[in-house]
Amino acid sequence: MKFKTVAIDGGAAVGKSSVSKECAKTLNYMHVDTGSHYRTIAYILLDKGIAPSLGEDAVSQALKGVEISTLIFGNSARMSVGGKEIEDSLIRTDKVNQNVSLFAAMPQVREFLKGYQRSMEGVAKEKNFAGLVMEGRDIGSVIFPNAEIKIFLDADEETRRKRRANEGISDSISKRDALDKNRKTAPLVRPEGSVLIDTSNMSKEEVIAKTLALIAEA
Ligand code: C5P
């Protein structure tokens, strides 16, 4: 079977994570959530007392001391810092939600993560996964423009707000989306050659089935 790279992009709370994880598990592909990379960097910087308002030079300087590596849990590859896992409870806080897109708009932060994210194809092959599912905002447009299949998930705002509310997380999803769409470097766009799936009136199972069918055809 041919190794396939699947790029799944879309705005906040469109259902990227659950679909990506489930498809990866079904196909024995490695799953990478690049949103967690940006969240981890935001958490580390904030923890060092670096706010986005301090500017790109301060952020660049602080990133010099940040050493990233990878831990594999089942089908998921997680980015670790200084060899330590940074837990979900630390990167999914209100404070990180409020700051992550400001850091993610900085070219220095994106450059810092780009090579690492691209190297995940090699890691997936080395670990004998049958493919790679990577989710984010710029995977089909910047990280893997030649991915075998690119999917762009969308959903109307009310559906997305409801989904987040059900998770019990307060998140300014429209504010993050606006920042992500309007930044200069690697903005959130529907990548060229991607298949659009509007998940507003679909169940999670339907989105997974559709995605699996698209991957099989690719
Ligand atoms: O996917 P998630 O909502 O966890 O992503 C958090 C934030 O990380 C996004 O709002 C965006 O600012 C940033 N991000 C990005 N590029 C990616 C993935 C996430 O800029 N590929």
pLDDT at 167 over 80: no
Q: Which of 8, 101, 153, 188 has the most ligand 1 atoms within 8 A of CB, as the residue to mutate?
A: 101
Q: How confident is the model at residue 44 (pLDDT cuts 50, 70, 90)?
A: very high
| Residue located nearest, by CA, to atom 4 of ligand 1 | 35
Q: Which of 48, 176, 57, 182 is nearest to 109 (CA)?
A: 57
Greatest alpha-carbon span in the chain? 49
**Cα–Cα distance for residue pair 14/20, rounded to 1 Å:** 12
Supply 187's token pair: 């903005």
Contacts of residue 89, defined as CB under 8 A and 6 or more positions apart, other chains included, come to none
Closest atom, ligand 1, to C-alpha of 42: 8
| Residue located nearest, by CA, to atom 20 of ligand 1 | 104
pLDDT at 169 over 80: no
**Cα–Cα distance for residue pair 37/152, rounded to 1 Å:** 20
Q: Which pTM does this prediction carry?
A: 0.96
| Residue located nearest, by CA, to atom 1 of ligand 1 | 35
The verdict on ipTM greater than 0.90 is yes
- Give strand pairing partners of 106: none
More confident site: 169 or 76: 76
pLDDT at 196 over 80: yes
Q: Tens digit of pLDDT for each residue in 86-99?
A: 999 999 999 999 99
**Cα–Cα distance for residue pair 150/211, rounded to 1 Å:** 10
Identify the structural domains of the chain with CATH numbers, from first to last.
4-217 (3.40.50.300)
28 within 8 A of 74, measured Cβ to Cβ: no
From the CA of 14, how far away is ligand 1's center (Å)?
Answer: 12
- Residues of the chain with pLDDT > 90, as a percent, come to 89
Q: How far is CA 14 from CA 24, 65, 126, 174, 200, in A?
A: 18, 34, 31, 12, 8
What pLDDT is attached to residue 157? 87
Per the prediction, the chain carries an average pLDDT of 95
Helices (H), ranges, 172-203: 173-182
CB atoms within 10 A of CB 76: 17
| Residue located nearest, by CA, to atom 5 of ligand 1 | 35
Ligand 1 site residues (CB inside 6 A) read: 12, 34-35, 38-39, 100-101, 104, 136-139, 176, 180
Closest atom, ligand 1, to C-alpha of 179: 12
From the CA of 38, how far away is ligand 1's center (Å)?
Answer: 6
